[in-house]
Amino acid sequence: MKDKKYTERYLKACQLLPERLSISALDIAPELMPCVEEIRLRAGREIHLTLPERELPLPRTRVTTDDLEQVLDRCTEYSRYTAEETIRMGFVTARGGYRIGICATVVTAGERCESLRDISSLAIRIPKEREDIARPLLPQLLVDDKAVSTLIISPPGGGKTTFLRDLVRILSDGSELCAPHRISLVDERGEIAAMHRGIAQLAVGNCTDVMDACPKALAVPILLRAMTPQVIALDEIAGKADVDTLRAASRCGVTLLATAHAASIEEIKSRVFFGEIMGSGIFRRAVVISGWGDKRSYRVEVLR
């Protein structure tokens, strides 16, 4: 059933390509289709399909700049102006939850990206929802039937966002172990809920409110004032501004769910800014993800 769903998503992603490229992308072994994580298009080069453990080039698929422009038009349903804010941030979300990363020449105004021109690369990410991967760990992430602040870590591409999405969905809908939680989700890069014209394309639960394409430092204060969340979920904590945002939110009494790139708790503690926040007691649990694809493993570490 899972393979069928992911095959269908790959087939729909191919519909975003110009016909001659789509024909080649569809001409791969059927058993590979559900495994494809990204379709990468680079001007002047062949299409590459990203698989869990390798890159697969597609012969005779030399991509042109016109191809890239055509894909972006299809992703925005020929209304680029409706997605101009996220395009300036380097991505756009297409119907169905497909997030398309963009590389191009940046037109700046001071330190601000004003627009992108001369597109050189696109990365079409195939959304992978893995339902209930967080459920076996749920008892360890609850205290008195309520979620506790949890940091989810893995190396890049290790499944943090997928796990966070599933945990948000389970807590938002409630389960036999806990009542539904009121969750505010900061989806700065459009990867968790994959909002398309105000509607989440991926399952994040019935009691989840999404702030889309907004920096964490701006989104969190708005959500605290406007949505009275019990839980705030954020993806990809990366620097001092994000850490300061977590610290401020924790003082308001909300539970925090966040992700960060690292292979271990020790690696996180060794980093500037992160060591301080790990020692502050904000997070009570950590979920450490290791391995790749279907061989991923998940374990909980108690921080306090």
What's the confidence (pLDDT) of residue 1? 62
Tell me the backbone φ, ψ of residue 64, rounded to 5 degrees.
-105, 165
Q: Could you report the per-residue pLDDT of 50-74, keeping only the tens digit for each? A: 998 899 999 999 999 999 999 999 9
Q: Could you report the per-residue pLDDT of 250-302, keeping only the tens digit for each? A: 999 999 999 999 989 899 888 877 777 777 789 999 999 998 777 889 999 99
Whether 42 has a pLDDT exceeding 90, the answer reads yes
Return d(Cα 202, Cα 222) in angstroms, integer: 23
Place of tokens 């080039």: 57
Return d(Cα 71, Cα 129) in angstroms, integer: 24
Burial state string for 7-30 with b = 16 or more CB within 10 A and e = fewer than 16: bebbeebbebbbeebbebbeebee
Residue spans of beta strands (DSSP E) within 174-241: 183-187, 195-196, 199-200, 208-212, 231-234
Q: Could you report the per-residue pLDDT of 140-170, keeping only the tens digit for each? A: 999 999 999 999 999 988 899 999 999 999 9
Return d(Cα 168, Cα 182) in angstroms, integer: 10
Whether 2 has a pLDDT exceeding 80, the answer reads no
* CA 44 vs CA 59, 68, 122, 123: distances in Å: 13, 11, 12, 15
What's the confidence (pLDDT) of residue 35? 93
What's the confidence (pLDDT) of residue 147? 97
What is the overall mean pLDDT for the chain? Answer: 93
What's the confidence (pLDDT) of residue 268? 86
Q: What is the 3-state secondary structure (H, E, C) of 159-188?
A: CHHHHHHHHHHHHHHCCCCCCCCCEEEEEC
